[in-house]
Each structure stands twice: as C-alpha cells, then as structure tokens.
Amino acid sequence: MTKNYSSEINSPLSTNQEDYLKAIYILETRGDQVTNSVLSEYLGYTPASATNMVKKLAQMDLVIYRRHQAVALTPTGRRVALEILRHHRLLELFLHKTLNIPWDSVHEEAERLEHVISEALEDAIAASLGYPKVDPHGDPIPSKNGDVIHTPGHPLSQSEAGRAYRLVRVLSQEKDRLAYLRGLGLHLNAELFLHEQAPFDGPMLVEVAGEEHALAADMAALLQVVPASAE
C-alpha cells in the first residue's frame, strides 16, 4: 500500500493516527479552537489519550503542540489529513453511485475503507467517477495536490421564504439525522420550496418533491442551499 504522503513521512501512520489528523483538520475547518477536550470528545476518547497521541504526532512533525494550547496541523499534517479526507469522500460517492448505497449510509463504510485503499485504487475510483468535486453530502473532495474548492450556499434557516432552493450541502454526519432528511425526499441537488419560516426560530414549512413538511430550525440550519435558478 503506497500512500501519497509516504514521500514526506518516514513511517506509515496507523489508522488511529490518521483519524486524529483528520479530526483536527475538520475541527480547524469548522473554526473551532482545537483544544484537547474538543478533540478527545470528537473522537470519543479520554483527554489523556488525546494528549498522548498529539505529543506523538508532534514528534513526527505532523502537528504543532504546546502545552495547554490548541493543536494545529503542520503543512505535512494537513496534507495527510486531506488525503484521508479525499479517500473518504471519493469512497462515499463511489459507494453511492456505483453500488447504489443510499447517501445517508455511506459514511460509516467510508470511515473504515479510507485507511486501507492504495494510491492506485484512489486514482481508479476518481477516474471512474470522472474526477468529481463533491461527495454525496456536498462536501468538497480535496484534489490530489490538496486543493479544496469552496462550496457556495447558505443555511436554509437563513433563507427568504416564498422561494425555491437547491440543496448543495448537508452539514451533518449523524446517521439518524441523515436518514430522516433522506426520508423527506432530500438529496444533493434536490429542489425545495420554502413556504414559510415560523418566527422565533420556529420550524420551517418546506416542500420537497410535491410534499410539504415541517422542518425544525436546527435541521434547516444543516441544509446549505442556493437559489434554485442558479446553475
């Protein structure tokens, strides 16, 4: 298994190490301060375990660590994280398009597969999909050299009522939430019409595929949309 980042790194990374780097990247991208508690909670480990691992990653020059400070990725660490994320999102799209696995249930599978596919397989998957730019949740697929496109859109919860929108991204990986959203007929690029938004952050009334549904405000906040006219 030859990994893309192998040229920059002396020893191959474990699944766990890759998961830490990916988590740090995602938390950084969210704009969070990646403190030990945030990181350990995100990964489901105790803070002590996170400290240990972060120290190890720092020795490998993958993260910058100073006691009691937020962790940050080094350029090399970021490259590793992006490669794993590229694997993850390519795999999600591949599973969805090639094997008809519903878009709301590809995440867990990709979570394991992302660590074991070779560079050659990554390339073959990307080629077979026509070098896609986003996964089935609308998350951008990092390019091989680590570029991440900016995805447009704004939350449905902050959108004007009485207009049609197109779903361009879903900001959640929670299985049951995604299943619920799919149950409403939602999927990437689905059209939806926002009938009204109840005041005081109340539920929204949306129409998807001819059916009307009430949608809680926190759910609507996860849905990134653009005006339906926009191509």
Partner DNA sequence: GATACAATTTAGCCATGACTAAAAACTATT
Partner DNA sequence: AATAGTTTTTAGTCATGGCTAAATTGTATC
Contacting positions for a second copy (CB under 8 A): 1, 95, 98-101, 105, 108-109, 112-113, 115-118, 120-121, 124-125, 128
Nearer to a second copy, 1 or 179 (CB): 1
191's CB contacts (< 8 A; 6+ apart) are 164, 165, 166, 167, 208, 228
59 contacts which partner out of a second copy, DNA, none, CB within 5 to 8 A by kind?
none
- Distance (Å) of CA 6 to CA 16, 38, 142, 193: 17, 29, 18, 47
Nearer to DNA, 18 or 104 (CB): 18
36 contacts which partner out of DNA, a second copy, none, CB within 5 to 8 A by kind?
DNA
Q: Does residue 155 sit in helix, strand or coil?
A: strand
> Residue for token digits 């709301």?
104
Nearer to DNA, 62 or 192 (CB): 62
Nearer to a second copy, 98 or 158 (CB): 98
> Residue for token digits 């006219």?
229
- Rounded to a whole number of angstroms, the minimum distance from the CB of residue 166 to a second copy is 28
100 contacts which partner out of DNA, a second copy, none, CB within 5 to 8 A by kind?
a second copy
- Distance (Å) of CA 16 to CA 74, 86, 163, 165: 18, 17, 45, 39
The residues facing 223 across adjacent strands are 170
Nearer to DNA, 29 or 52 (CB): 52
> Residue for token digits 């988590």?
23
Angstrom distance (rounded) from CA 190 to CA 25: 29
- Rounded to a whole number of angstroms, the minimum distance from the CB of residue 121 to a second copy is 6
Nearer to DNA, 48 or 209 (CB): 48
- Rounded to a whole number of angstroms, the minimum distance from the CB of residue 41 to DNA is 9
76 contacts which partner out of DNA, a second copy, none, CB within 5 to 8 A by kind?
none
CB 93 within 8 A of CB 109: no
16 contacts which partner out of DNA, a second copy, none, CB within 5 to 8 A by kind?
DNA
- Distance (Å) of CA 100 to CA 97, 103, 165: 5, 8, 25
By the criterion CB under 7 A, which residues form the site for DNA?
14, 16-17, 35-38, 44-49, 51-56, 65, 67-69
- Rounded to a whole number of angstroms, the minimum distance from the CB of residue 17 to a second copy is 16
